[in-house]
Amino acid sequence: MAGNSLTGLTLHVKDVEQSLEFYKKIPDARVIVHRPGHFALMMIGKGQLGLLRHDEGKFHVEIDTPSLEAMHEALCANGLKPETPPEDRSWGQRDFLLIDPDGNMLEFGSNQPGGDTPNAEKWQKPQPQHR
């Protein structure tokens, strides 16, 4: 069906306040709903991210960014510690990983090595499984 798109994602987290403090450090992130201890809803660019108090579940979040190096530097400046520096991948993506306080993996990426333009061929090649 044409016109459908993913607009948000909700993560199950053990501590909403700890997770909220973590995600607020992402540049351009803003809180739009906050029920302390239970739920928070944020906007990161044009997408929504929910944080729901729940003891189970992990998730992998992919975030495209026009300037990967600038995002990496901003996260580090905000006190976060990415798992890797930005790296070129064999399937044509450039990315780095960040783990949140509940073990959810965030993959910040750009689809062209050293560039900002999406590469449609990426979706035709096998993607590695992050664990």
8-120 adopts what CATH topology? 2,3-Dihydroxybiphenyl 1,2-Dioxygenase; domain 1 (3.10.180)
What residue ranges do the domains of the chain occupy?
A: 8-120
pLDDT digits (tens, 9 = 90+) for 60-108: 787 888 889 999 999 999 999 999 999 998 878 899 989 999 888 888 8
CA distance linking residue 16 with residue 3, whole number of Å: 32
Residues 46-50 have a mean pLDDT of 90
Whether 8 and 49 have beta carbons less than 8 Å apart is answered as yes
pLDDT of residue 120: 34
| Tokens at 127, concatenated | 């993607």
CA distance linking residue 97 with residue 87, whole number of Å: 10
Nearest to 24 by CA among 66, 67, 79: 79
Torsion sign across C-alpha atoms 50, 37, 56, 13:
positive
pTM of the predicted structure, to 2 decimals? 0.63
